[in-house]
Structure 1
Amino acid sequence: MRIALASALALCAGAALAQDVVRIGTEGAYPPYNFINDAGELAGFEIDLGNEICARAGLTCEWVTNDWDSIIPNLVSGNYDVIMAGMSITEERAQVISFTQDYYPPTASAYVALSEDADIMGVVAAQVNTIQAGHVAESGATLLEFATPEETVAAVRNGEADAVFADYDYLLPIVEASGGELVFVGERVPLGGGVGAGLRQTDDALREQFDAVITEMKADGSLNALLAEWFPGDEVPSY
């Protein structure tokens, strides 16, 4: 009788867990990965992808916005369960959190400045706690860090920095919309192991659920369709 009761309680607990809300943390400030649209709502590649993952996995998900510089500590402390925020998979981060497989292939970073002869070994702006900031610091240039990606570009425009170093895909629409004010400088720099979802290292079951759907979406072409929608152009990333 006790065994039967214990089994029933375990089944009930499992059912309750399956219905729990999975909270996904994002920055909401890094288009086209994630951003706040004109209607004041979260939008972007990762928002569409996250919603599709949750639908296919049968999960009830809610989105939480969080500043980039505290996004990993707040995951670890339990403010949300998953990070989907244009976060590159790195060995350093993997010591603190776990990652799904990448849902955006390894891509390049780039320098942008007001002129093609700008000194990319001078003062270079980058967002704090990014692989780009780490690269600038190691390059010998003077690193100028900012909390948001918008501030890094503004630093170039107002003369605080000689250049900004960030994901090429983030910078491309900004350069195109600048009317020639901003230009790419030098060669692109490959960094990171692609973009993936970050989870607490103890949440293996949830990571496996996300991984299973990402694998499915790669196989059926739906992930490539989302990438083409949000990253149009001659160099659309794909699997």
Structure 2
Amino acid sequence: MKLPTFAMGMLAGIAIASGALAQETIRIATEGAYPPFNYVDASGKLGGFDVDIANALCEAAKLQCEIVAQDWDGIIPGLLAEKYDAIIASMTMTPERAAVVAFTDKYAQVPVRFVVSNELADQIDSTPGEGIEQQKTALAGKTVGLVAATAAEPYVRDTFGDTVTYRGYQKMDDAIQDLIAGRIDAYADGAVPIENLFLSRDEGKGFRFGGDAFSDPTYFGTGNGIAVRKDDPELLEKLNTALAQIRADGTYAKINDKYFSFDIYGE
């Protein structure tokens, strides 16, 4: 039986609506203060490696996504409170975090290091010993800056104990300004943003990395992953499948080369 024209129009509208509902929408949080991984540009728009990766994953997984900014110290609580569905913010996969959120496969790996003045770096290099023991001896009695809730914070506090004085920050920018002004002697965080945000700029002249990178997997895990709630295995699977796809089809490499002169994925 042939349907009247108006009935066919109604059915078409229902089909379109059903298709729209079938297109899942998720909210993704990033920090917006960790260039080149995530930042807010001059127009107020979120950008960076993490944002480009998020958009590529959503396209590969056929997900409609909204990317929002969230301060770092509240980023996991916000996920657990269902303010958003995933975190793509260069988050290191540590055992402590894995106890409360589920992580995808690795999508990047950023070394964590101290940045210090050239004079202090020379002192670290000339101090007897190797690795952390060398740094502990050279930094004894110094003031170290740490951003709250970064992977570097618990490691430095646990490893260096009361041999140094600590000053806490909410953002890297504030810590760097205090390093330049001499209010702290060293700052620990991801080597890539330190390089791009500070050392590669005029204000970074006179400073460099001091000592070896930190590598304890108990604190620094096995790379950066995307965090989702533990009760959302379907989204986790979709993101892992999409990640494998963009790694295989060259999309990841194009995004990588936009921001880095080396493979940020690591080994």
Indicate the TM-score class for this superposition, using the shorter chain for normalisation: 0.7 to 0.9
Match of 2:159 among 128, 135, 139: 139
Match of 1:163 among 166, 186, 194: 186
Q: 2: CA distance between counterparts of 1:211 and 1:18?
A: 20
Corresponding residue for 2:48? 44
Corresponding residue for 1:188? 213
Q: Does 1:77 align with 2:101?
A: no
Corresponding residue for 1:111? 114
Match of 1:175 among 199, 208, 212: 199
Aligned residues of 1:128 and 1:147 also touching (Cα < 8 A): yes
Gaps spanning 5+ residues in structure 2: where? 1-17, 122-137
Match of 1:220 among 249, 252, 255: 249
1:44-63 mapped onto 2 (5 Å cutoff): 44-63=48-67
Secondary structure, aligned partner of 2:139: coil
Higher Rg: 2
Secondary structure, aligned partner of 1:47: helix
Secondary structure, aligned partner of 1:103: coil
Secondary structure, aligned partner of 1:39: coil
Secondary structure, aligned partner of 1:79: coil
Q: 2: CA distance between counterparts of 1:63 and 1:179?
A: 31
Q: 2: CA distance between counterparts of 1:165 and 1:109?
A: 7
Q: 1: CA distance between counterparts of 2:265 and 2:81?
A: 34
Aligned residues of 2:55 and 2:65 also touching (Cα < 8 A): yes
- Scaled by the length of structure 2, what TM-score is found? 0.78
Percentage of matched positions with identical amino acids: 31
Instruction: State the superposition RMSD in angstroms.
Output: 1.9
Q: 1: CA distance between counterparts of 2:45 and 2:114?
A: 30
Deviation, structure 1 residue 75: 0.5
Secondary structure, aligned partner of 1:32: coil
Deviation, structure 1 residue 112: 0.9
Q: 2: CA distance between counterparts of 1:16 and 1:92?
A: 38
- Structure number with the higher helix fraction is 2
Deviation, structure 1 residue 126: 1.4
- Scaled by the length of structure 1, what TM-score is found? 0.86
Corresponding residue for 2:232? 203
Corresponding residue for 1:3? none
1:8-27 mapped onto 2 (5 Å cutoff): 18-27=22-31
Q: State the number of aligned residues.
A: 223
Query: Which string of whole-angstrom CA distances, capped at 9 and with x for unpartnered residues, describes residues 95-141 of structure 1?
Result: 00001111103x31111122342653421111101110111101223
Ranges of 4+ aligned residues in structure 1 off by more than 4 Å: 14-17
Gaps spanning 5+ residues in structure 1: where? 1-13
Deviation, structure 1 residue 228: 2.2
Aligned residues of 1:116 and 1:184 also touching (Cα < 8 A): no
Aligned residues of 1:133 and 1:143 also touching (Cα < 8 A): no
CA spacing shift, 1:94–1:17, aligned 2, 3 Å? farther
Q: 1: CA distance between counterparts of 2:148 and 2:95?
A: 17
Deviation, structure 1 residue 17: 6.2
Query: Which string of whole-angstrom CA distances, capped at 9 and with x for unpartnered residues, describes residues 30-50 of structure 1?
Result: 011100112221110011110
